[in-house]
Amino acid sequence: QAGLTQPPSVSKDLRQTATLTCTGNSNNVGRQGAAWLQQHQGHPPKLLSYRDNNRPSGVSERFSASRSGSTASLTISGLQPGDEADYYCSAWDKGLNAWVFGGGTKLTVL
């Protein structure tokens, strides 16, 4: 039950840049921005950014987030094999009074 819209998959070459998108509405992403999570197979999600473009300590500067209106973006530069993972966006939805997630984007590094 995805509340936010993400492309199911993105493929990019090693050392290139990937930009993942997450589209919501004025009740969620457009209101408070989005957070981005990375999940490797068999592991819990890991927070990459919050409130649009804040990175927790320890997260590589290769990960940068931004927002335009109700669409959030995560840009990963200098792609590495370890960046292959599922990426989810999340946001609080004021209208639903609930947290919503995107359906996730599977990033493949070729």
Write out the residues near another protein by the rule CB under 8 A: 1-2, 32-33, 35, 37, 44-47, 49-51, 54, 56, 86, 88, 90, 92, 96-104
Please, what is the minimum distance in Å from the beta carbon of residue 3 to another protein? Answer: 9
Q: Which is nearer to another protein, 2 or 14 (CB)?
A: 2
Distance CA 5, CA 22 (A): 5
Structure tokens belonging to residue 13: 């070459």
Please, what is the minimum distance in Å from the beta carbon of residue 107 to another protein? Answer: 14
Beta strand spans in 24-101 (E): 35-39, 46-49, 63-68, 71-76, 85-93, 98-101
